[in-house]
């Protein structure tokens, strides 16, 4: 924690820093967003004492590396979300999923994390925040990708710091409806990873990955990799749990 060691104090400081960061390039946010995201940060920091949900705990770092980093995807999300459900893979402490769901409360979101304690914490956050547009699922991506309730069901899948691109493509593309899109948060991405991601996407029904800037200089080398789903994923994917990571496609 920061020197104050007080979640509410740190959450207010993170909110003020986010407002400063957004002042130069404001994003369209709903009424009450700042209050809601401040409450979320306080919940995250309080739970972090026991659950180790995030290593980023200084207010200025939370504002930049969690909140702004999540919100920087809004120009992409707004062009993709429409009326379809959205899923966030590997939600951890709720970034970017909860932040995006607070920013776009009129859209249904599903947060997925394979660690049950983290999923339970996410459910507690959702209940405390009174979020009716958000569901939490505790399951591995490879398993949920074979569930008829979720396969081919989403217009948007987001993932931040989840896996290398070829692995992430196998996690996400089976979940997308044809015409849906994967938006992955990445730092500087090596040519080898991008090349392997291109091969994996092709095998899974995806188009050619494109790299997009974050749009905020404060985020440094952060960027997005975007993959559109152009055809149905073959039934053999995703492979059994653990296999995409052990033997990546591409």
Rounded-to-integer distance, Cα 216 and Cα 24, Å: 10
Tell me, letter by letter, the H, E, C secondary structure of 204-229. Answer: CCECCCEEEECCCHHHCCCEEEEEEE
∠ CA 175-179-182, nearest 5°, is: 50
Q: Is the pLDDT of residue 25 over 80?
A: no
Determine the average pLDDT of the residues in 49-78. Answer: 94
224 DSSP β-pair partners: 185, 212
Matching residue, tokens 């440094």: 220
Q: What is the pTM of this model?
A: 0.94
Rounded-to-integer distance, Cα 49 and Cα 47, Å: 5
Between 26 and 73, where is the model more confident?
73
Q: Is the pLDDT of residue 1 over 60?
A: no
Determine the average pLDDT of the residues in 29-48. Answer: 97
3-state helix, strand, coil in the chain (%, to 5): 45, 15, 40
DSSP state, 25? S
- Dihedral angle sign, alpha carbons of residues 142, 241, 133, 99: negative
Rounded-to-integer distance, Cα 197 and Cα 248, Å: 9
Determine the average pLDDT of the residues in 177-199. Answer: 94
Given this model, what pLDDT does residue 24 score? 79
Contact 67, 218 (CB under 8 A): no
Burial class (CB in 10 A: 0-12, 13-18, 19+), 174: buried
Rounded-to-integer distance, Cα 107 and Cα 85, Å: 7
Burial class (CB in 10 A: 0-12, 13-18, 19+), 41: buried
125, 126, 131, 137: CA torsion to nearest 10: 150
Given this model, what pLDDT does residue 5 score? 62
Given this model, what pLDDT does residue 79 score? 86
Q: With bands split at pLDDT 50, 70 and 90, how would you rate the model's confidence at 83?
A: low
Contact 175, 203 (CB under 8 A): no
């Amino acid at each position: 924690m920061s020197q104050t060691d007080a979640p509410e104090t740190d959450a207010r400081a993170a909110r003020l820093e986010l407002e400063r960061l957004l002042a130069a390039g404001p994003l369209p946010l709903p009424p009450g967003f700042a209050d809601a995201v401040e409450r979320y940060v306080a919940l995250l920091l309080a739970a972090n004492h026991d659950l180790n949900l995030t290593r980023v705990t200084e207010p200025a770092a939370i504002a930049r590396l969690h909140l702004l980093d999540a919100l920087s995807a809004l120009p992409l999300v707004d062009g993709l979300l429409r009326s379809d459900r959205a899923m966030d893979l590997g939600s951890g402490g709720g970034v970017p999923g909860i932040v995006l769901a607070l920013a776009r409360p009129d859209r249904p979101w599903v947060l997925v994390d394979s660690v049950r304690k983290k999923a339970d914490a996410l459910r507690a956050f959702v209940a405390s925040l009174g979020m009716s547009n958000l569901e939490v699922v505790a399951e591995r991506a490879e398993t949920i990708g074979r569930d008829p309730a979720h396969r081919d069901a989403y217009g948007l899948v987001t993932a931040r710091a989840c896996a290398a691109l070829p692995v992430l493509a196998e996690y996400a593309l089976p979940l997308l409806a044809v015409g849906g899109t994967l938006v992955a948060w990445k730092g500087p991405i090596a040519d080898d990873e991008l090349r392997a991601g291109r091969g994996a996407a092709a095998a899974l029904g995806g188009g050619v990955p494109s790299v997009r800037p974050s749009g905020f200089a404060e985020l440094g080398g952060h960027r997005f990799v975007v993959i559109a789903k152009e055809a149905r994923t073959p039934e053999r994917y995703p492979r059994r749990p653990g296999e995409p990571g052990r033997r990546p496609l591409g």
